[in-house]
Structures are given as structure tokens and as C-alpha cells.
Structure 1
Amino acid sequence: MAGLLLLLLGACLLLPGTGAISFYLPADSKKCLKEEIHKDVLVTGDYEVAELPGSITHLKVTDSAGHILFSKEEAKKGRFAFTTDDYEVYEVCFENVMSPDAVRAPDQLIILNVKHGVEAKNYEDLAKAEKLKPLEVELRRLEDLSDSLVKDFTYMKKREEEMRDTNESTSLRVLYFSMFSMFCLVALATWQVVYLRRFFKAKKLIE
């Protein structure tokens, strides 16, 4: 048990820390951030948009199929959360729209912090709701982390099997195509020999 805890703690230390990212969005422009996320994963995001006169920023979160998971007109500061339905690419888009009569403003500062999986869970609220001790909360977090790692390894194994099957299928098709090409070449060469022999015989060039 102690060895398992040390292993999980080491995995926690190896995970990259998540921090907010910031960028500048020019007037009348749009910028999207994409990320691949597994199925049944909780995703949360905190955003803050600097206020500029005559500038309005819209926020939209969608999946690869175009389904809107979160939308906010005139986004300023807030949070969004959703649970993924399938493994695919999700994107968070900010669009800066200037009023027609507004003077062109400088680029707008946007701060975004997206978390998913174990990082997105609020263990403080969980501890209060279930009256857990600090050690129990840490064990719960490690348990969720281990489940996440197992799911990641399972998905990687599945992808490896799919790629192996694809490679084997491709190799088999290449082999069949090569054999068919060789058969066509041999058949064509045989037909040419037979045709030329008949032609030369007809011209009495050979007996």
C-alpha cells in the first residue's frame, strides 16, 4: 500500500502544473484554443476579459461537431464547466467585436485558465460535503488520479492496437497488390511472346 502511494505521489509530481494563459486579441478578430480531451472528463475554465470602450467580446465553447457547450455574449469575467461526451477536440473561442462608431482600441487582454480531470474537481467542497479529513481528501484525489492514469493507459493501448491492425491491414493489401502486379506483368509478357511468335510465323520470319 505504501509503495502504491509513493508511486501515485511521484505521478502527481511528474504532472505539469496548470496555470492561466494570457493573450492579446486585436479588434474585430477571433482566436480559438483547441485541446483533445478523453470521454467523461470534467472540464472547467475561468476567464477574464479586460474592458475596453467600444469593444465587446463573445465567448463560445464547442466540440469538433460544432455543438455549443457554453456560450456567453459580452463576456467579462466568469467560469464555464462541462463534461465531455466523447474523445474529441474541444475549442474555446474568443471574438472581439468593435462598435461601428467606436475609435479603434488597443488589443484586448484575455486571461484563461482551463482545467480538466482531477485538476478540475473541487476537493475542498467535497471534503465539506462528505466531512472528510485532510488525509482522506488526499487519498480520494490520488484515487481519482490513478483512475485517470489507468484510463489514459487503456486508451493508449487501444490506439496502439488500432494502429497495429491498420499497419497489418495495409501490409496485407500491399502484398496482394504486389502479387496482382506481378501476375499482370507475367501475363502481359507471356501474351507478348505468343503474339510476336504468331506474327513472325505469319510473316514467315521463323518456322
Structure 2
Amino acid sequence: MNFVATLLCVLLALLATDGVECISFMLPPNVKKCLKEEIHKDVLVTGDYKLSEAPGHKTLLHVGDSKGHTLYTKEEAQEGKFAFTTDDYDTFDICFTTKLPPGMRGVEREVTLDVKRGVEAKSYEELAKSEKLKPMEIELRRLEDLSEAILNDFAYMKEREEQMRDTNESTNSRVLYFSIFSMVCLLSLATWQVFYLRRYFKSKKLIE
């Protein structure tokens, strides 16, 4: 019952914050700026970008993962879209690099970026046209996809919790065994020292 209530609360929260605000930042000349984000496996990611006018500037847009794979690249990025589907859980980089010819003074470019993933990235308008669905059916389909995404997130969180628990248990076991081994070594050394000193004192006839 608690799980169902939590799921409903998350659904309502996501529905209430369905509008995704894009981000914007200033990009100085001859500077590289990157945005990083961790995304799960088999997730659709889309992005809309737009750069302000800047004569003489050439801005490179590169989207890649931590393994060095290029998912999208644009030599002279000005305005456009990109989309890709993740093959595995990974960290993805969206990098803007602006270059200016030597001796030329430049200005900062304003970069506007709107990235959506999962349910947010799907175009339900096109789905409605292709499958001839009614507005209520489209909303139900969207809620179904949203609930599936939330369940997948819960399953991933549970899996990560199990992995962390196994790691903690393994670490605790290793620490325990190392502690026992250290105590045995110390006791053995202390015993050896006692017998050695006793034999030494006997040899010097300091004790009987």
C-alpha cells in the first residue's frame, strides 16, 4: 500500500512539473563548456539548441559518452536538434566549443539548450496521427509510458541498493578476516617474544 501511494505521489508530481524549462548560458570565445548527465539504458534523448549570432565565431557541438563514442556532432552549430537512444547506463557529455580566428575580437554567445529524455522526448502528437488515437487514448498512453519509466527507475534503484549492500557485506567480511589475521599475527609475535626473552634470560642465568 505504501509503495502504491508513493508511486501515485511521484506520478502526480511529475505530471505537475511536466513543462521542462530549457537552460541558457554564455559561451566566451575560444572556450569549451560541457554539460554532463547520467542516463539509464534504452532511453530516448532529444535536444534543441540555439546560439546567438556572433560574426566570425565557429562553434562545435559534440555529444558523446564516457567511452569516447560520438553520438552527434555539428561543425558550425547555430540552431538545430539532435536525438539518440542510450545503449547502456552511462554519463553523456554535451559540449560546445567556440573558436575565433587569431587577432579577431569576439563576444560571448548565448547558448540555449533544451534536453528531454524518456517520456518527455516522445512525440505523442505524431503517434496520435500515425495510430489515429483519440486525445484520451494518447493521455492514457503517456501515463502508461510514464508509469513504466518510474517502475524502471525503482527497479534500477533497487538493483543499485542490492549491489551496494553486497559490496558493504563483502568489505565488512574482508575487514573482519584481516582483523582476525592481524590479531593472530600479534599474538604469535608476542608469544615468540616471551619465549625468546625467557630463553635469553636463562642463558644469562638471570632467571632459573
Normalising by the smaller structure, the TM-score range is over 0.9
Matches within 5 A, 1:69-80: 69-80=71-82
Partner of 2:33: 31
2:61 aligned to which of 59, 65, 79? 59
Structure 2 partner of 1:20: 22
Give CA-to-partner distance per residue, 1:118-153, whole Å, 9 cap, x none.
000000000000000000000000000011001100
Look up the SS of the partner of 1:71 in the other structure: strand
TM, length-normalised to structure 1: 0.94
Provide the residue aligned with 2:95 in structure 1: 93
Distance 1:84 1:107 in 2: 32
Superposition RMSD in Å = 1.7
Poorly superposed stretches of 4+, deviation over 6 Å:
none
Aligned residues: 203
Identity %: 64
Aligned residue for 2:185, secondary structure, equals helix
Normalised by the length of structure 2, the TM-score is 0.93
3-state DSSP of counterpart to 1:99: coil
Separation in structure 1 between the aligned mates of residue 11 and residue 189 of structure 2, nearest angstrom: 68
Aligned residue in 1 for 2:179: 178
Q: Secondary structure at the match of 2:192?
A: helix
What is the match of residue 145 of structure 2? Answer: 144
Residue in 2 aligned with 1:133?
A: 134
Q: Deviations over 1:1-53 (max 9, x none)?
A: xx99x937514335564211000001000000000000000000000011211
Q: Where does residue 106 of structure 1 map in the other structure?
A: 107
* Structure 2: runs of 5+ lacking an equivalent: none
Distance 1:134 1:9, change over 3 A: farther
* Distance in 2 separating the partners of 1:36 and 1:9: 21
Structure 1 range deviating more: 29-38 or 14-23 = 14-23
Match of 2:159 in 1: 158
